[in-house]
């Protein structure tokens, strides 16, 4: 969905310039890490700016890959940098959310849920990447529907922070990402069967 938000002419207009896909990925990494740090620090302003900064890596989430394809500058290193950025930023959000809630007095459960969601998000991402790479048919470990991919839910995270729904989102993320890790692992281990 994020590549559909940025019109194809945006990707095409960057072809032939000094802007490379890795520049976009680096921008995503920096703004994503800053967003996570601000969320972890917490407080009204920190949460507002965290959400604003979070939108950058989410909206640019597929733009780097699109630019690489359109500009015919795809590389294994660029793909790995993109994957690392996705894993670091997306899992970091949940760790920061746990810290934010703990500082706000939610108790130890928030740290445990943040660590669990973070670890499960890392595992999901690595298993999905391994599955997609080994299958090499274009099939993804988890397909979305109706024009959406599962990671499109990341667009909503700032809204949940701003309306103070961080606790239920973190609890849900800890459960859902853990279940998805088990599903991804089972699918990965059964990829050669059947």
CA–CA dist 91, 119 (Å, integer): 7
For every one of its 194 residues, what pLDDT tens digit does the chain have, with 9 covering 90 and above? 444 444 454 555 777 777 888 889 999 999 999 999 999 999 999 999 999 999 988 888 778 888 888 888 888 888 889 889 999 999 999 999 999 999 999 999 999 999 999 999 999 989 888 887 776 665 555 566 666 666 778 888 999 999 999 999 999 999 999 999 999 898 888 876 65
Give how far the C-alpha of residue 169 lies from the chain's centroid of Cα atoms, to the nearest Å: 15
> Which class for 189: exposed (0-12), middle (13-18), buried (19 or more C-beta within 10 A)?
exposed
Report the pLDDT value the prediction gives residue 144, as an integer from 0 to 100. 62
**Cβ(92)–Cβ(33) below 8 Å:** yes
pLDDT recorded at residue 53 = 93
Phi-psi category of 100—alpha, beta or left, where left has phi over 0 and alpha has psi -120 to 50?
A: alpha
pLDDT at 188: 83
Q: Domains, the chain, ranges and CATH? A: 2-189 (1.20.120.1760)
Q: Which residues contact 149 (CB under 8 A, 6 or more apart)?
A: 1, 143
Distance linking the first and last C-alpha atoms of the chain: 32
Phi, psi dihedral angles at 149 (to 5 degrees): -110, 155
0.75 exceeded by pTM? yes
Whether the CB-CB separation of 65 and 9 falls below 8 Å is answered with no
- What whole-number distance in Å separates Cα of residue 59 and Cα of residue 75? 22
CA–centroid distance for 166 within its chain? 17
Quick one: how far is CA 186 from the chain centroid?
Answer: 22
What six digits make up the tokens of 77? 């290193």
Q: Which of 122, 138, 137 is nearest to 184 (CA)?
A: 122
């Amino acid at each position: 969905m994020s590549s559909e938000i940025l019109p194809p002419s945006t990707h095409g207009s960057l072809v032939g310039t000094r802007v490379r896909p890795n520049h976009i990925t680096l921008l995503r990494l920096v703004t994503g890490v800053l967003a996570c740090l601000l969320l972890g620090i917490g407080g009204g302003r920190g949460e507002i700016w965290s959400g604003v900064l979070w939108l950058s890596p989410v909206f640019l989430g597929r733009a780097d890959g699109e630019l690489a394809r359109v500009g015919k500058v795809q590389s294994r290193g660029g793909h790995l940098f993109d994957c690392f950025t996705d894993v670091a930023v997306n899992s970091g959000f949940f760790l920061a959310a746990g810290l934010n809630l703990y500082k706000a007095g939610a108790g130890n459960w928030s740290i445990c849920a943040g660590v669990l969601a973070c670890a499960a998000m890392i595992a999901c991402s690595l298993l999905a990447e391994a599955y997609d790479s080994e299958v090499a048919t274009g099939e993804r470990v988890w397909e979305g529907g109706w024009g959406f991919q599962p990671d499109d839910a990341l667009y909503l995270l700032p809204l949940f922070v701003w309306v103070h729904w961080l606790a239920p989102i973190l609890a849900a993320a800890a459960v859902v990402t853990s279940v998805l890790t088990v599903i991804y692992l089972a699918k990965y281990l059964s990829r050669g069967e059947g």
